[in-house]
Amino acid sequence: MISFFTPQHEGHAPATEFLRGERVPCFESPARAHVVHAELVARGHELREPGDDCTALLAQVHSARYLAFLRNAWGDWLALDPANADVQPFPSIWPVRSLRSDVEPENFVARLGLYSMDNGSPLVAGTWAAAKAGADAAASAAEIVGAGVRSAFCATRPPGHHAGADFMGGYCFLNNAAVAAQAFRARGCERVAILDVDYHHGNGTQSIFYERADVLFVSLHGDPRTEYPFFLGHADETGAGAGLGFNLNLPLPAGTGVAAWFAALDTACARITAHRPDALVVSLGLDTFAGDPISHFHLQTADFSRLGVQLAGLGLPTVFVLEGGYASAELGVNAVNVLDGFERA
């Protein structure tokens, strides 16, 4: 399978994040992409650097003012104080409920809160370049698959499925799966499906397409009553307006085993088939693995090969986009097992 990879991901390497109120080393680190890259090389996958500029697609997925903020954020942070070069900025105030979000503040920390759903997406000097390169990879993958290649994989980071039209969160800045889906639509696909198999609900992807009937969003994930992102991902969220009926959430309780997870996948695949899409985008989160340090499902390494085989059974041109998965030692094997299972089938 052709896989897109770029060393620009290394520029996004925040040192710490907050976990239960304490600073801890970041779970989402460059090591994740390194182990996936190494496994791709070891198994003989073709690796390419992104060749497409996704700027026009980003403008169709994200708001103009959010993109402007993200592009300029590090420079604005340094403009406050050059010593900030050694400091990670974190938001400390958010415009919840009765507070206004339509007027963009001039204060940088206030704007950081305006465009953040949490304090779990630390910025550094190379964040924009890494995120943009990942989105370029999603556009490149959709381009070659739309031109006739059966499938492609984006072995990039940071992930994207928690990023909405105008906010970052959960390590995500630009929504790569949404960019790939929009790229398929731009190429003339009438209907696209996005399947999110990450442990955590892809709230950003859902919100981007929630009122659209051309892009079906299907997700199986940890129940948001107990699992991040908590405030989206319930089964009664089925779309709105033109998109009513084109959003399917399959929340599962923490501790879900392999049999129940694959039963939910059967339901997801049946809904995708009914949509009759021209192309499929898979938000490939590998944090369903039993050994993941921040998730609570029980898939084993061999189960990821089975996942690939089942997705191949849909018979669709497919783009895989790397999302979560924080058991770094096993991440590469688990990711490439999905791809090899898909190709063998």
Asked if residue 58 lies in contact with residue 179, where contact means CB atoms within 8 angstroms, the answer is yes
Asked if residue 14 lies in contact with residue 124, where contact means CB atoms within 8 angstroms, the answer is yes
Asked if residue 232 lies in contact with residue 199, where contact means CB atoms within 8 angstroms, the answer is no
Specify the pLDDT at position 278: 98
Asked if residue 327 lies in contact with residue 293, where contact means CB atoms within 8 angstroms, the answer is yes
Q: Domain boundaries in the chain?
A: 2-65+127-344
Best CATH choice for the domain 2-65+127-344 from the list 3.90.1150.10, 3.40.800.20, 3.40.50.2300, 1.20.1250.20: 3.40.800.20
Q: How far, in Å, are 37, 130, 154, 343 from residue 335 at the CA level? A: 10, 20, 11, 13
* pLDDT tens, residue by residue, 32-85: 999 999 999 999 999 999 999 999 999 999 999 999 999 999 999 999 999 999
What is the C-alpha separation between 55 and 186, in angstroms, rounded? 13
No. of helices (H) and no. of strands (E), the chain:
10, 10
* pLDDT tens, residue by residue, 265-309: 999 999 999 999 999 999 999 999 999 999 999 999 999 999 999
Q: Return the ∠ at Cα 9 (arms to 7 and 171), rounded to 5°.
A: 165
User: What's the predicted TM-score (pTM) here?
Assistant: 0.98
DSSP 3-state assignment of 335? helix
What is the C-alpha separation between 233 and 206, in angstroms, rounded? 8
Enzyme catalytic residues: 162
